[in-house]
Chains A and B, each alone.
Chain A
């Protein structure tokens, strides 16, 4: 293993800003795994930390055949100050790719990273969602053309995660790492585990198993781990969003991974002053809870659950 600095920037009153990479196996640009790009992505950082620990062990056993680069964090400054985005200007590094080395700070950071990782054959980003909540672990593939990339979707099944989701990008998605990796011909995947701010050890270990399983199937490592699931492919457009019509405290009866049925009451909304039930969140479809919001208070018209319907 070689620990190397991929990008560095001098701080004024803080320690220098660094993006650190851990290189395993050969120098061949086979697989790159990127962790937190935002300051609240503790789970994504943790997955990378535990992955590095596992890869060190595999390397000692001579089981790494090609080159693997793990970048645990692209934004250590924000992780340390508990700010989601870049401290000074509140910009999101994961909306700055491919970056610009003569541009503004976060454009330079994105460029500094991307210059190091753009030529990898496989790219994996530990991603998080903009809404606070828990996810059923899954792999997401972005459609950079008008139609889904079936080859990439089939390859994503090698992670052995319960779902592979084909995501149709919105305009702001075009500046993400995942999207730009694909533009530069890297086969890229976003990996979602259960949490973001909080560390969830169990789902972190599942994500690591999934990544190692994938790397093994591509001949990058020798690994006999858990085979995982036979993934179900769905499109993000097929995912059903269940919204709360009322605002107030929110009491959920279900969690991610639960099977739910049409007309099932999934949660109650409770008046924030008087405590009585003012609304119920009801499932419109039969399927599996893919996402569940985990805040105690709920706004009206807000997505509370996302369900992967039985198609």
Chain B
């Protein structure tokens, strides 16, 4: 059933509603004691990879409702304004929604909405917050975990069928994110990053769907008796595991290597060119051997723009 999680009145003949689809086992009227998973996406309006996952999840479960044993809450659009207007943030307020959690019930409209969302999701046995990097970068399917919550989350992340788990250091700024706010409230929340902004990559969506069904089976929320070949992810847990490629000059980046490639030291990742002069301004080479798990998708770069991330060979080989 469709449920309005929170709603506020807009100035001109419209209400802003955050909706969820709640799926419960057939014939069940009392849901008390049932386990619950929440699938959340659309905090950033330009990240659409989660739309496909939500659609498929809702559709598959409804077709196989007899296999559902717990509650599945699907929130496809936490920032409906952003999705409607191709804006990463909340457009009328020029605000990054993932910097206002846990929100405040007595706060401004957006803080109020954030607080109502947290109130609704809190208490889930697991929450998965699906992101799509941004319009600039393509990512292999991965889960990002704050060091502070590693013990609570690593078990879930290992079973989510992603290629990579990145345990990153604590940062004060990240304390205002949706995932951090819920993890502090003891609602385990993992953040998935995959694909690229403004696009849907079906194969990544299907990969994550397998992971979500696997987790739902493990949590006794869904039982489809399927044996899944779940990937063993590479885990990076050290501050120095990743090499960052930043543009040394402004220009147009023409990439040579796809994300997910293994690269060797000095191998050319791409070139930064000047279309006006016809010159190559910089040759971007791998600073070391490793796995290129992030690449630049959007060609225009300023000095400093991120163009890729390489997981160092030692960490990669340890798992492979």
Asked if B169 is at the interface of the complex by the 8 Å CB criterion, the answer is no
5 sample A-B contacts, Cβ–Cβ < 8 Å, listed by A number: A12-B251, A88-B302, A105-B305, A170-B176, A299-B109
Chain B residues with CB under 8 A of A102: 244, 246
B10 part of interface (Cβ distance < 8 Å) = yes
What is the minimal beta-carbon distance from A240 to any residue of chain B, in angstroms? 12
A10, B11: Cβ atoms closer than 8 Å: no
Instruction: Check: A249 CB closer than 8 A to any chain B CB.
Output: yes
Let me know if A105 and B302 touch, CB within 8 A: yes
Give every chain A residue within 8 A of B246 (Cβ-Cβ). Answer: 102-104
Is B92 close to A, CB under 8 A?
yes
| Nearest-Cβ distance from residue B188 to partner chain A, whole angstroms | 21
Q: Which of A89, A249, A303 contacts B108 (CB 8 A)?
A: A303
Q: What is the total number of residues of chain A having a CB less than 8 Å from a CB of chain B?
A: 39
Residue A259 interfacial (CB < 8 Å) = no
Interchain CB contact (< 8 A) of B304 among A103, A247, A299: A103
Alpha-carbon separation in the docked complex, A126 to B63 (Å): 59
Please give the distance in Å from A85's CB to the nearest CB on chain B: 8
One of A12, A103, A243, A249 near B274 (C-beta < 8 A): A12
| Chain B minimum-CB-distance residue to A278 | B9
**Interface residue SS majority, chain A:** loop
- The segment from A43-51, A65-73, A171-179, A219-227 found at the interface with B is A171-179
Residue A273 at the chain B interface, CB threshold 8 Å:
yes
Q: State the CA gap A130–B88 with chains docked (Å).
A: 17
User: Chain B, interface size: which category?
Assistant: 35 or more
Q: Determine which of B13, B88, B95, B108 lies in contact with A273 in the assembled complex, contact meaning CB atoms within 8 Å.
A: B13
The answer to whether A272 and B304 have CB atoms under 8 Å apart is: no
Counting CB contacts under 8 A, is B99 at the interface?
A: yes
* A9-B303, A273-B13 given; A300·B8 CB < 8 A: yes
A248 at the interface (CB under 8 A from B): yes
Q: Within the complex, what minimum Cβ distance (angstroms) separates B189 from chain A?
A: 17
Residue-wise, chain A 240-269 has the 8 Å CB interface mask toward B (1 for contact) of 000100111100000000000000000000
Chain B residues near A90 (CB-CB < 8 A):
88-89
Find out whether the CB atom of B172 lies under 8 angstroms from the CB atom of A171: yes
Q: Are A273 and B12 in contact (CB under 8 A)?
A: yes
Instruction: Tell me the smallest distance from the CB of A110 to a CB of chain B, in Å.
Output: 11
Which B1-26 residues have C-beta < 8 A from chain A? 8-13
Minimum CB–CB distance from A97 to chain B (whole Å) comes to 11
A174 x B12 contact (CB < 8 A): no
Scoring A residues 294 to 311 as 1 if CB is less than 8 Å from chain B, else 0, what string do you get?
000111111100000000
Closest to A89 in B: B136
Q: How far is the CA of A284 from the CA of B271 in the complex (A)?
A: 61
Q: How far is the CB of B93 from chain A (nearest CB, A)?
A: 8
Tell me, yes or no, whether B173 is within 8 Å of chain A by CB.
Answer: yes
Alpha-carbon gap, A10 to B248, bound state (A): 10
